[in-house]
Homo-oligomer: A and B are copies of this chain.
Amino acid sequence: MADLELIRGLQTAADSKILLLVLDGLGGLAIQPGGPTALEAAETPNMDRLAAEGIVGLHQPVAPGITPGSGPGHIGLFGYDAVRYQIGRGVLEALGIGFDLQADDLAARGNFCTVDANGRVVDRRAGRIPTEKCEELCRELQKLQIPGVRIFVEPVREHRFLLVLRGEGLVEGVAETDPGHLGSPPLKPVAESPEATGTAEMIGRFVDDAQERLAGHEPANMVLLRGFAKLPEWPTFPETFGLRSVAVAQYPMYRGVAKLVGMDAAEVGAAREDLFTTLERVWPDYDFAFVHVKDTDKAGEDGDFDRKVSAIEGIDTFVPALVGLKPDVILVTGDHSTPAALRSHSWHPVPFLLWASTCRRDEVERFGERWCLKGGGGLCRSEDLMPMALAHAERLAKFGA
């Protein structure tokens, strides 16, 4: 794999445009032995035409056998090695609910939990309290004050919340307070380096104050914190690839990951059509657009094979409109597989199609896992897709004389 520095050094100015269409969780499995996957079963005449004119292949997120979460899945598609470029838990939690993290913020993933009279954890998830209760308790904790920092406590779902400390001099490197098992008291937030001492003290004070405030709110009478993280300082996507870049995504997580790497995020309405009307609106101002479709993943997570087929077929009807925008390169793929048969993300390689006038055509004329296996794109790593797309857009100079 080429590293980001190498790619950046080879940037060439061009007018070409690249469209990345991500059907979340696109890859699948058959639901009966020897049967088709959802993508194979779907009638996709428009994507099939792109597949026939371009190349297809499979990409492997993270590493063989690894099932990626949404963050690493997209980080790979954006050209970053997902093992090297890991997003901290706290930051992922913030992205997931669309919290607008600032450069100085320290974020953590929080759980409400239950402790007994001796302070020992007896339920790490506080009986999975309803989200409404979580919201109420977050409002309580939001009132806590710690000198020198601003506190944000945002509900996520059930017992989960986001804690953000905003202030100067906050550092990562504070150990989690979750003991990981029952019967022990929560751990102290220990500084893992001398620089983190002040930060650890502030977190310790928050935990103490939170426990006091939560007294009587059983089962949610204590908090556990982990994944203390700040926004990473990575090479940005627009700088690395030389592309004015925009995300067109309806879910906070995907807008968030895109913003994390420096893309703009367009305002999008909630209907599926809004994705495409928004893309049409912002397209003239950008060289690269990432369009994110969630339905495919949701159907897979729900174990609903037929709905996944329908979701894919629904997107296919929009493909002519995408082609009508005249992108020079179109890349259609998923961030990972979500087979309905497994009702979850999976490690299986993900089908992709890459369409451009500079493709060396393969002989594949349909878009689907079994055909991708015979395609000109081979079995590559997710992070290879962006350099390939850039190359086909004729935006990369020769390496060496």
Known contacts A370-B362, A373-B376; A82 and B400 CB within 8 A of each other = yes
Given A64-B2, A64-B380, A391-B66: A360 touches B345 (CB 8 Å cut-off): no
For the complex, is A324 an interface residue (Cβ under 8 Å from B)? no
Q: Does A282 contact B (CB under 8 A)?
A: no
Known: A82-B399, A400-B82. A65 touches B358 (CB 8 A): no
Asked if residues A63 and B6 are in contact (CB atoms below 8 Å), the reply is: yes
A70 to B30, CA, bound (A): 38
In the complex formed, the residue of B with least CB distance to A395 is: B65
- Which of A86-94, A189-197, A311-319 lies on the face that meets chain B? A86-94
How far is A45 from B276 in the complex, measured between Cα atoms in Å?
Answer: 52
Given contacts A6-B83, A63-B6, whether A391 and B347 have CB atoms under 8 Å apart is yes
- What's the dominant secondary structure at chain A's contact region? loop
Taking the closest CB of chain B, its distance from the CB of A97, in whole angstroms, is 12
Tell which of A37, A62, A87, A92 has the most Cβ of chain B within 10 Å: A62
CB–CB A360/B396 < 8 A: no
Known contacts A70-B401, A86-B400, A400-B86: A33-B53 contact under CB 8 Å: yes
A358-373 CB contacts (< 8 Å) to partner B? 358, 360-363, 369-370, 373
A64 is contacted by which of B347, B348, B375, B388 (Cβ under 8 Å)? Answer: B388
The answer to whether the Cβ of A242 comes within 8 Å of any Cβ in the partner chain is no
Q: Which of A30, A68, A374, A378 has the most CB of B within 10 A?
A: A378
Q: How far is it, in angstroms, between the C-alpha of A358 and the C-alpha of B339 when the chains are bound?
A: 10
28 contacts between A and B (CB under 8 A): A6-B66, A28-B360, A30-B361, A33-B361, A64-B388, A65-B391, A65-B392, A65-B396, A66-B391, A66-B399, A67-B399, A68-B400, A69-B400, A70-B400, A82-B400, A86-B400, A89-B401, A92-B401, A96-B401, A339-B360, A345-B398, A346-B391, A349-B378, A362-B370, A363-B373, A373-B376, A374-B374, A378-B378
Binding site for B on A (CB under 8 A): 1-3, 6-7, 10, 27-30, 33-34, 37, 53, 58, 62-73, 82-83, 86-87, 89, 92-93, 96, 339, 342, 344-349, 358, 360-363, 369-370, 373-376, 378-380, 384, 386-392, 396-401
